[in-house]
Amino acid sequence: GMADAGAPTIFDKIISKEIPANIVYEDDLCLAFRDIAPQAPTHVLVIPKIRAGLTQLSKAVPEHKDILGHLLYTAQAVAKSEKLDKGFRIVVNDGEEGCQSVFHLHLHILGGRQLTWPPG
């Protein structure tokens, strides 16, 4: 549901600016900042400012559709502002086998080099 279930994560402290992050975009609903351990020349995370139960994508309910659309729209806008005109990838890791490590929904934007497929 929309209740903010789940333990706080490091991203709460980034949202509240208790810990620094290299922020590339921010609005009322979301924050985009550079990943601390970049896997590509450009590696930006886009997160909702209010987690609202979205510890991971698979927790989505119909009430999350607007924020999910906003996050995906923002990701492509950030890719443009990062000049990823030759292409990029948006990734959402979900759960253990998806290699999710932070349980606050986030979209990875990866680009700036030739990416490979399939991913590992």
Q: Which residues bind ligand 5GP (CB under 6 A)?
A: 10, 21, 33-37, 45, 93, 99-102
Distance, CA of 31 to CA of 99 (rounded, Å): 22
Distance, CA of 94 to CA of 98 (rounded, Å): 5
Q: Which residue type is seen at 16? A: S
| Of residues 7 and 62, the one with the C-beta less far from ligand 5GP | 7
Considering the complex, what minimum distance in angstroms separates the CB of residue 88 from ligand 5GP?
A: 16
Considering the complex, what minimum distance in angstroms separates the CB of residue 15 from ligand 5GP?
A: 11
Q: Which residue type is seen at 42? A: T
Clarify whether 106 is annotated catalytic. Answer: yes
Considering the complex, what minimum distance in angstroms separates the CB of residue 78 from ligand 5GP?
A: 14
| Of residues 33 and 88, the one with the C-beta less far from ligand 5GP | 33
Distance, CA of 7 to CA of 103 (rounded, Å): 8
CB 57 within 8 Å of CB 8? no
Among 43, 104, 106, 108, the one annotated catalytic: 106
Catalytic annotation, residues: 106
